Amino acid sequence: MATPLTASQMLTALIAEGLDTKERSGWRTHDRGNRGDGWGPVHGVMIHHTGGTAPSDGEIVWSGRADLPGPCAHAYLAKDGTLTLTSAGRANHAGGGDPAVLSAVIAESYTTRPPAPHKHDGSPGAQDGNARFYGLEVSDRGTGSAWPAAQYEAAVRWATAICRAHGWTAKSVIGHKEWSDWKPDPAAFDMAVFRRDVQARLDASTKPKPPTASAPASENHAAPQCET
Ligand SMILES: [Zn+2]
């Protein structure tokens, strides 16, 4: 159980991890308020792909779509590895998912991967993931093609930064496809490999952890393929 990072704490952690970070004006207070189960305690981070690579995708992550208001993630990661911060509170990225997966993430008790999800947004018994996970939307068509090295490395660093700030291991990192049984993202790799890379980075560096504190709040779901 962890109190969400404040916007400043999030920014400090991301910069300390070496990310090329851009602050979208207003990102610190851009969130979904206290809808659903609100925002926090937080238990992990979730990786998404946008499902397209249009220049407007970053705007969609910020503003949402007609059927789903933004923000649709805490940050948007471009092909070149540039990270744009879009929220420090509740964001519409995870939607409903399997509480058994959340339990495994909280306990960091699984081996290679958490139990396969059997829930999705709107299904009976689904858990509000937007209250519990930080989310990253990565510009990618979702065809399964590998991400550019700079983009993949930045995604690893984003996840590592937040895990380090909270004292979590890489087992607190999941893909949207591991949370919801109708989601395919990210399609480019096996999340077990991504977790291995995050853990290697956590183990290799001993950067001091930023202090944790409280943060603002934020609905359900994500973007360009915003979830839901
Ligand atoms: Zn997603």
Mean pLDDT of 17-24: 96
**Model pLDDT, residue 224:** 54
* In a domain? residue 89: yes
Å from CA of 81 to ligand 1 middle = 18
Å from CA of 216 to ligand 1 middle = 22
Å from CA of 222 to ligand 1 middle = 6
* In a domain? residue 39: yes
* In a domain? residue 110: yes
* In a domain? residue 76: yes
Å from CA of 134 to ligand 1 middle = 12
CATH number for the domain including 211? 3.40.80.10
- Which structural domain range is residue 60 located in? 7-227
> What mean pLDDT is reported for the chain?
91
Helix axes 149-166, 7-16, angle to 10 degrees: 130
* In a domain? residue 1: no
Number of structural domains (the chain) is 1
**Model pLDDT, residue 85:** 98
**Model pLDDT, residue 53:** 78
Name the residues around ion ligand 1, CB cutoff 5 A. Answer: 48, 176, 185, 222
Q: What is the pLDDT of residues 29-87, one digit of tens each?
A: 999 999 999 999 999 999 999 998 787 889 999 999 989 999 999 999 999 999 999 99
* In a domain? residue 191: yes
* In a domain? residue 29: yes
Å from CA of 147 to ligand 1 middle = 16
Å from CA of 185 to ligand 1 middle = 5
**Model pLDDT, residue 112:** 96
* In a domain? residue 2: no
Å from CA of 166 to ligand 1 middle = 23
**Model pLDDT, residue 205:** 75
Å from CA of 175 to ligand 1 middle = 8
